[in-house]
Structures are given as structure tokens and as C-alpha cells.
Amino acid sequence: MSIFAVMQKKFYIILVAMMTLSLIGIIGLQGYLIHSAVKKNREYFEFNAKKALYNVSHLLNKREYLHYVHPLKQAMDSLKNRKGKRSSTLDSTFTCTKDYYQTVNSILDRTSKKNYNTVRFHELNLDYGTDELASTSKHEFWLYESIITEYLQKHPVQKRINHALITHLINQELKRMDILLPYEYAISNQGKVIFSNTSVEQLPKHDTFEVPVYEDIDNTTTTNLIIHFSKTGKYYFKSLGTVLFLSFVLLFVVIATFLYAILVISRQQKLSQLKNDFINNMTHELRTPIATINLTLDFLKNPKVLEHPQMLQDKLGLISEENKRINAHVENVLRMSQFGNDHLTMHKERLELHGIIQEVVNDLKTGMSTHGELNTNLKASQSAILGNLSSIKEVLVHLLDNSTKYCKKRPEIKIFTENVKNYIILTVEDKGIGMSKKIRKRIFDHFFRAQTGNIHNVKGCGLGLSYVKKVVEDHQGEIFVKSTKGKGTSFIIKLPLIA
């Protein structure tokens, strides 16, 4: 490998590495921005969810207080009026006597048996009851709250739970916070679940929030409202839909462009390598006959050669053969350049493939009579195809030439045909050196030549089989290769028949 080729390879590696790092950086940055946006939405969701639940807790306490305070206030005002009090409110010297306690307990018992729906759900909000209690003094308000709290603490929490009210308050507050997600909730007392709106014994830990409820006058409680949200990802990504879509589209475009660029660069490098190999091979193939012709011409300049007519004829024949060899290489290159043109038109006519095979075989057998074996077994009952005569002949010559060249011993070649449906199958089989799976994949590539190490064992420029494949495909046919290293190779051509 030349220094220039090594530099090209290093440049290619550096370029690919830089492009890969850039792509990784873009993906990483995009991922970081999306992660940050999702994290921000998660924090916003947690804040709103906790705020909604604290509002629920406050409304539960307030609703429970309002349920008792109005009848209690009315009854106590009535008691004071019967004792000759003019004011409808308790003064700062008010104390609860035994009669008052009995009366209060009786009132609260009766009130506790009333339905919570005496206050309609749609009327219940954070400001509900404020106007009704505006005229209540702080001392009286504290007294009512103390009496109600003390009364409620004597009753089990289970009796204070109103599922319909709790569900309504949760829905109301979540809607206010724009949280429209499915949820499950439970109420626990001293760490033990005493009520749940789901059959699950334990709510999941993730996306679960907990707030105290039914607090006493000192804001202490052992009861908590626990709520678990499902499908939170919908909330996290709800504001990122368009951004995510555009991000993924742009990312897809960048990755596709990157892969395409890598593919183009790889193809260009491969093409450059093939071009260099072709130039080296062609230079070698042309240099040998040219050198032979030059040496022969120098030999013919000797006047004594004219005294030996037979020697003169032999040398002239050698020049003619080497000239034909040069011309064949040039024709191969020109032919392949023509086949690279998609608009090339090839004159086709009705041909008998068996007749062409016999003609080519007869020509080759003359030179192989003592150096090899070439047999045919043409079993196909129909062999008429639509094709170009010279091109089909050249296909057969290239395949037979390959079978002859890639053989360590005396070549043994078989040609046989058969009909399969509306096709004729032509097989050229030899017992040569065969080829590996790796070589079979590239055998039809332009300029490719099988080699051992850095040495090409057979002369050629790597265009023969690529030309064969091009001709077969131009005749709407297919070509396959089967080969086992050390045992031989079979080329199989499938061509359509004509009536």
C-alpha cells in the first residue's frame, strides 16, 4: 500500500471519527434538553399535585367543622337567650357548664347523624362558610372548634370518612390544577390502610403523594390521605409533543444524512482503491506484451535474422499474438465503459444456445487436446433465446477461460444444460482451486481479482466476470456461483426461452 493510500485511509478514519463524535454530541445535547424539560414538568406536576391534596385536606377539615358549627352555634345562642342574654354571641367570660356540655353533646350527636350533603358539593370551596362565620368572635370560634374537635376525637376515623365527598374534592382540586390523570387513593391511620377506593392492598411508591387529614386543633393527626397517579408520562410530555416530534424528525434526518455520508465516503474509498488496483493491473498486463514486442523488434533488427525465414515468421507471429493481447485488454475496458451507459442498445436476435456452445467448445478443444478435458452434456430440449451473438460467445469464453486459468492441475471442465419451466439453465463446472465464501461475495465486482497475500496468481484486469454478469442481466437472465475451496467451481446461468 502506497503512502498516499495510507494517508487517504487515515483521513477517512479521522473524518468518520469526527462525524461520529459530532452526531453523538448532537444526540447527547438533544437528550439532555428533553430530559431537563421532562424533569421540569415532573417538578411542576409534583408541586401542583401536593397543592391540590393540601387543598383537599383543608376542605375536608373545613367541611367537617361547618357541618357541626352552624347547628351548634344556633343551639348555644338559643341557650344563652333563654338565660336572659341579650347578645347572640358568647362573651369572653363564657364557660361551658355541665348543662352546656350535655346540650352540646346532644346537638353534636344529632348533627353527626345528618347527611353531609346538607351542604352541596358544588358550593364547597376554599371560601365556603366565611360569610356565615364573619360575625363570630375569635374566642367563640376557638371554643366551637375545640368542642367539635374534642367530640370528633372520641369517634373512629372510619366513621368520619365520606367517600363521595373525598372523591368530589379530589376531582375538583385536580381539575383546578389541570391534572386530568387517572388515580387511586387510600386513607391510612397510624400507617395502616383503613379505606381505599381500589382493591390493591398497597399503592405503588412511585408517583404517590401523601398529606395529613382530619387534623386536631394542634394540627396533629395520625391519619393521612394517600393518592397514586397512573400514566404520569402523559402529563410530563404533554407540553413537549410538538418539540419531541420535531426533535426526532431532525434527529432522524441528521442520522440518515450521517449514514449516507459514511456510505458515500466508503464507496468513494473503495472505488479509489479499485481504480488504483485496476491501473496497477492494467499497467502490468500492458507492460509485459509491450516489453515482449520491443525485445522482438530489437531482435529483428539483426540482419542475420533475414537469413532464417522460419525464425522471422515465429518472431512476427509472437508480435502479432502480443498485439492481440494488448487489443483484448483495450477492448475489455471499452466494453465495460459502454455497459456503464444505461442508454446502450444491444442488437438482439434469435439464437440457438446449443449451437453457440458447440462452436465455442470446438474452438477451445483445439488448444486443450493435450492440456485438459472439456465435455458437454446438453440435455435441454429447447435452447432458443433472444440475445446478442458476440456477447453470448464472450460470456462462454470468459467462463471457460476462468475454469482453465484457476486450476492447479490438468483442467477438467463440464458444460451441461437443462430446461426449467420457461428457462434454460447453463452450467459451467470445473474441478479447479475453488474459492472461499468471502471471495464468492465479490467475484462479480469491477476490477476484483482473487489473490494470495499481495500476489495475483493469474493474469488479468478483473473485468471478465463483471462483464459476464452485466451481459447476462442485459439478457434478462441471472447468474449464480457455487464453489468449495479446493474442490471446484460451478457458474450457473439462467436465461429466458423464446418460442
Is residue 254 in a domain?
no
Domain for residue 277, yes or no? Answer: yes
Residue 89 lies in a domain: yes
* 156 & 222 share domain: yes
Say if residue 110 is in the same domain as residue 52. Answer: yes
177 and 79 inside one domain? yes
Q: Quick one: pLDDT at residue 52?
A: 92
Dist. CA 52–CA 186, nearest whole Å = 16
Domain count of the chain?
3
The answer to whether residue 188 scores a pLDDT higher than 80 is: yes
Residue 251 lies in a domain: no
Q: What is the 3-state secondary structure (H, E, C) of the chain?
A: CCHHHHHHHHHHHHHHHHHHHHHHHHHHHHHHHHHHHHHHHHHHHHHHHHHHHHHHHHHHHHHHHHHHHHHHHHHHHHHHHHCCCCCCCCCCCCCCCHHHHHHHHHHHHHHHCCCHHHCCHHHCCCCCCCCCCCCCCHHHHHHHHHHHHHHHHCCCHHHHCCHHHHHHHHHHHHHHCCCCCCEEEEEEECCEEEEECCCCCCCCCCCEEEEECCCCCCCCCCEEEEEEECCHHHHHCHHHHHHHHHHHHHHHHHHHHHHHHHHHHHHHHHHHHHHHHHHHHHHHHHHHHHHHHHHHHHHHCCHHHHHCHHHHHHHHHHHHHHHHHHHHHHHHHHHHHHHCCCCCCCCCEEEEHHHHHHHHHHHHHHHHCCCCEEEEEECCCCCEEEECHHHHHHHHHHHHHHHHHCCCCCCEEEEEEEEECCEEEEEEEECCCCCCHHHHHHCCCCCCCCCECCECCCCCCCCHHHHHHHHHHHCCCEEEEEEECCCEEEEEEEEECCC
Q: Could you tell me the pLDDT band of residue 419, with boundaries at 50, 70 and 90?
A: very high
Average pLDDT value for the chain: 77
In this structure, the answer to whether residues 68 and 155 fall within a common structural domain is yes
Are 299 and 420 contained in the same domain?
no
Q: Are residues 109 and 223 in the same domain?
A: yes
State the residue range of the domain holding 295: 266-339
* Final residue belonging to a domain, choices 307, 339, 371: 339
- CATH number, residue 390: 3.30.565.10
pLDDT at position 95 is 40
Question: Is the pLDDT score of 111 beyond 60?
Answer: no
417/333: higher pLDDT? 417
At residue 302, the pLDDT reads 83
Q: What is the pLDDT of residue 341?
A: 55
For residues 475 and 447, what is the distance between their CA atoms, to the nearest angstrom? 22
Specify whether 230 is located in the same domain as 197: yes
Domain limit, last residue, from 339, 360, 381 = 339
Q: Residue 103: what pLDDT?
A: 54
Report, as an integer, the average pLDDT of 376-401: 89
Select the more confidently predicted residue: 234 or 128. Answer: 234
Q: Are residues 375 and 300 in the same domain?
A: no
Residue 273: give its domain's CATH number.
1.10.287.130
pLDDT at residue 353 greater than cutoff 90: yes
pLDDT score of 194 more than 60: yes
